[in-house]
Chain A
Amino acid sequence: AQSVTQLDSQVPVFEEAPVELRCNYSSSVSVYLFWYVQYPNQGLQLLLKYLSGSTLVESINGFEAEFNKSQTSFHLRKPSVHISDTAEYFCAVSVSGGFKTIFGAGTRLFVKA
């Protein structure tokens, strides 16, 4: 069975500072990995995903995540955050051909001025 652990429930950070949101997963088979973002009072939106190929994936708004198979991690990073990045971020995993996506408990990113 797959599982996802997000190591930080809340991450406060000042505007323009770098941030890393940590995600570890466990699985005995190959997985696909996702980061979703949830802005206040909204549903989840896909931020970025790793399916195969390059282990470094990027989003259009400056976030990136690196798939590390040996450490079973998929940490999300941004070199300089904005107030508008304040949201809850969910790491998720699913398996090839599978229909089930397992979500982590979420990390609330709070960007302060």
Chain B
Amino acid sequence: EAQVTQNPRYLITVTGKKLTVTCSQNMNHEYMSWYRQDPGLGLRQIYYSMNVEVTDKGDVPEGYKVSRKEKRNFPLILESPSPNQTSLYFCASSLSGTPSPEAFFGQGTRLTVV
């Protein structure tokens, strides 16, 4: 089954404690991205990757890091989480190229930073 898998689904952590949210896709997609979803703001892109070893900032990259060492994996790293990073996070993947294809989303990770 084609899917994007995120782990964990729920996470409560304390300020400053480094964490990683994993994302893996089995569709051989080149393009992957991370979004955060906040009430009234919709989805905002944090980082994206066009292929292995190619990443770039989205609209709200501050406080986050990513890496793309393998095509299927795109982890999101919070080196020193703060309460304003409490949010619902989604990983998505899609085929690159034209026309712009649909994005496949993971189930989401609800992060609470206390």
Contact = CB atoms under 8 A, between A and B. Distances in A.
Contacts, number: 60
Given A99-B50, A103-B43, A94 B100 contact: yes
Interface in A37-91: 41-46, 49, 51-52, 90
A22 B4 CA distance: 29
Interface residues on B, range: 20 to 34
Interface string B1-18: 000100000000000000
A99 B98 CA distance: 10
A92 B33 CA distance: 15
Contacts of B90: 43-44
Contacts of A103: 35, 42-44
A57 to B, nearest CB: 12
B48 A100 contact: yes
B108 interface: yes
